[in-house]
Amino acid sequence: MSVGLSRRGRTLSPNRLLAYSAALLITVFMLFPLYLIAAAALSPRSAVFDYPRALAPAPASLDSISFFLSSHGILPALGRSLVVGLLTVALSLALGSPAGYAIARYKFAGQDLVQLLIVVVRAFPVVILAIPLAVTFINWNLYDTVVSVAIVHTAIALPFTVLLTASVFLRVPTELEEAAMSLGSGRLGAVWRIVIPLSRQGLGAAALFAFVLSWNEVFAAAVLTVRNPTLPAQVVTSLGQSPLPFRFAGGLALTIPAVVFIFFMRPYLFSAFAREGR
Partner 1 sequence: MAEIKINSITKTYANVAAVREVSLTIEDGEFMVLLGPSGCGKTTLLRLIAGFEVPDEGSVSIGGKDVTDVPPGRRDIAMVFQSYALFPHLRVLDNIAFGLRMHKVPKANIGPRVRKAAEMMDIEPFLQRYPSQLSGGQRQRVAVARALVMEPSVILMDEPLSNLDALLRLQMRAELKRLLQEVKTTTVYVTHDQVEALSMGDRTAVMRDGAVLQCAAPMEVYDRPAHAFVAEFIGSPPMNLLPGVISDGNSVKVGDNQFHMDQTEGFGPGDQVRVGIRAENIEVLAQPATGALEASVRVVEPLGSHLLLTLALGEHAVKAITRTDFPARPGTRVWVRLLAEHLRLLGKGKGKGEGTEVAVTA
Partner 2 sequence: MLAPAAIFMTVFFAWPAVQALLIAFQTTQGTFTLANFQSMFHDTDFLRSLGNTLILLALIIPIETSIALGMAVLAQSRLRGRSVFLYIWSIPLAVSDLAAGLVWLSVFTSHGYLNSILQDLHLIQHPIGFLDYNNLSSVVAAVVIAEVWRSISLVMVIIMSGIQAIPSELGEAAEILGASAWHRFWRVTLPLLKPTLQVALILRTIAAFQVFAVVLALAGSALPVLAVKSESWVAEYRNFQLGATYAVMILVLSSLSTVVYLGLLRTPREVFQR
Stretch that binds partner 2, among 62-70, 78-86, 199-207, 267-275 (CB under 8 A): 267-275
Q: How far apart are CA 272 and CA 157, in angstroms?
A: 11
How remote is the C-alpha of 252 from its chain's centroid?
16
Cis peptide before 59, with omega less than 30 degrees from 0?
Answer: yes
Q: Please select the residue that binds partner 1; options are 1, 8, 106, 184, rule is CB under 8 A.
A: 8
User: Whole-number minimum distance, CB 4 to partner 2, in Å?
Assistant: 7
Tell me, residue by residue from 118 to 157, as one string, x for binding to partner 2 by CB under 8 A and - for no binding. ---xxxxxxxxxxxxxxxx--------------xx-xx--
Stretch that binds partner 2, among 59-67, 81-89, 198-206, 256-264 (CB under 8 A): 256-264
Closest CB to partner 1 among residues 16, 122: 16
- Residue 58 binds which of partner 2, partner 1, none (CB < 5-8 A, kind-dependent): none
Q: Please select the residue that binds partner 1; options are 7, 72, 107, 266, rule is CB under 8 A.
A: 7
Q: How far apart are CA 138 and CA 16, in angstroms?
A: 60
Q: Please select the residue that binds partner 2; options are 19, 83, 86, 90, rule is CB under 8 A.
A: 19
Nearest Cα neighbor of 160 from 91, 226, 96, 79 is 96
By CB under 8 A, tell whether 210 contacts partner 2. Answer: no
User: Whole-number minimum distance, CB 170 to partner 1, in Å?
Assistant: 23
- Is residue 172 a contact partner of residue 198, using CB atoms and an 8 Å limit? yes
Stretch that binds partner 2, among 59-67, 173-181, 198-206, 210-218 (CB under 8 A): 210-218
Stretch that binds partner 2, among 15-23, 56-64, 71-79, 166-174 (CB under 8 A): 15-23
User: Whole-number minimum distance, CB 194 to partner 1, in Å?
Assistant: 32
User: Whole-number minimum distance, CB 16 to partner 1, in Å?
Assistant: 13
Identity of residue 275: R
Stretch that binds partner 1, among 7-15, 108-116, 196-204, 213-221 (CB under 8 A): 7-15
- Is residue 252 a contact partner of residue 36, using CB atoms and an 8 Å limit? no
Which residues 233-252 are close enough to bind partner 2 by CB under 8 A? 235-237, 239-240, 244, 247-248, 250-251
How many residues touch partner 2 under the rule CB under 8 A: the total is 98
